[in-house]
Amino acid sequence: MTRAQKRQCSRVGLTILILVLTLILILPFLWMISTSFKEADEVFQEIPKWLPRKFSFRNYWEIWNRGYFKTYFVNSLLVSFATMGISLIVAMFAGYGISRFRFRGRTFFSVTLIVVQMFPSMLLLIPMYLIMSKMGLLDTHLSMVIAYTTFAMPFCTWMIKGYFDTIPVSLEEAARIDGCGRLRILFQIIMPLAAPGIVTVAMFAFILSWQEYMYALTFARTEGMRTITVGIALMQGQHGSVNWGQIMAGSVLACIPGLTLFTYLEKYLVQGFTMGAIKE
């Protein structure tokens, strides 16, 4: 067998392996979608089938129009977009400062951003609960936004700092010669060039806050403040039984915002991960 043939066989084998792994990963998602369209009696069949006998939207209608699911969904959107916005603004200025300025403690601060990511967020649950309780922020959206921003900001700052490092300083020097100030340089020159990195960190902050469960369960005490992850989890104990059709329908709806953002921002995400995140 020639070298070209070996290379071709390796490519075919790698392609098959990727397809098999992809199929394994998406099977649960496909089963979730299929179950969401099934009636209750079909969900508990002794021999399950991939496709429902009759596609029914009853589970989606009931979960959206009955109970608090719509409130959960809106709460998650508010908390996630607020976390994304605050994290992005802080990370952008902090990352730019670390990338462009030389100051005492710069290295220590940069290392600290990485070190804090090594600690599990669960370690801070009780201290943050006590802080929120003393500040009177329990059962509010603000408590969750503060907690999620605390976890998202270090990684976002480090990642966007790496992307700023890829932008030549000569562009800023030329702009300063033309009379541009720091803020104008940042917003009109640096930010457009760093769009992939900015989109990447924004997506990270959104997904982190959208899928978080434990802090939302601890901080939110009433139905009107709970997020979608907590709402879906609590559905398993309602009425003494588990309505898997509605739970799967709610899970499908919970995936829509993230998939929508990823679909529209995919090209920026790829550029952000491959360029900004790998440069010191």
Q: Whole-number mean pLDDT of the chain?
A: 84
Report the pLDDT value the prediction gives residue 280, as an integer from 0 to 100: 41
- Going from N- to C-terminal start, the domains of the chain cover 61-278
pLDDT tens track for 44-60: 777 777 888 888 888 89
Report the pLDDT value the prediction gives residue 276, as an integer from 0 to 100: 44
pLDDT tens track for 30-49: 889 988 888 877 877 777 77
Report the pLDDT value the prediction gives residue 215, as an integer from 0 to 100: 92
Report the pLDDT value the prediction gives residue 265, as an integer from 0 to 100: 73
C-alpha to C-alpha distance for 273 and 269, rounded to whole angstroms:
6
C-alpha to C-alpha distance for 163 and 88, rounded to whole angstroms:
14
Q: Which residues of the chain have pLDDT under 50?
A: 276-280
Q: How many CA atoms lie within 13 A of 47 on its CB side?
A: 0
C-alpha to C-alpha distance for 205 and 151, rounded to whole angstroms:
9
Report the pLDDT value the prediction gives residue 237, as an integer from 0 to 100: 61
What is the rounded end-to-end Cα distance, in angstroms, of the chain?
Answer: 43
**Model confidence, pTM:** 0.82
| CATH number for the segment(s) 61-278 | 1.10.3720.10
Cβ proximity of 158 and 114 under 8 Å: yes
C-alpha to C-alpha distance for 193 and 197, rounded to whole angstroms:
9
Could you tell me which of 275, 197, 259, 224 has the C-alpha nearest to residue 70?
A: 224
Report the pLDDT value the prediction gives residue 84, as an integer from 0 to 100: 93
C-alpha to C-alpha distance for 227 and 79, rounded to whole angstroms:
8
**Number of Cβ atoms within 10 Å of the Cβ of 222:** 8
Report the pLDDT value the prediction gives residue 270, as an integer from 0 to 100: 61
**Number of Cβ atoms within 10 Å of the Cβ of 280:** 6
Conformational region of residue 33, where left means phi above 0, alpha means psi within -120 to 50, and beta covers everything else: alpha
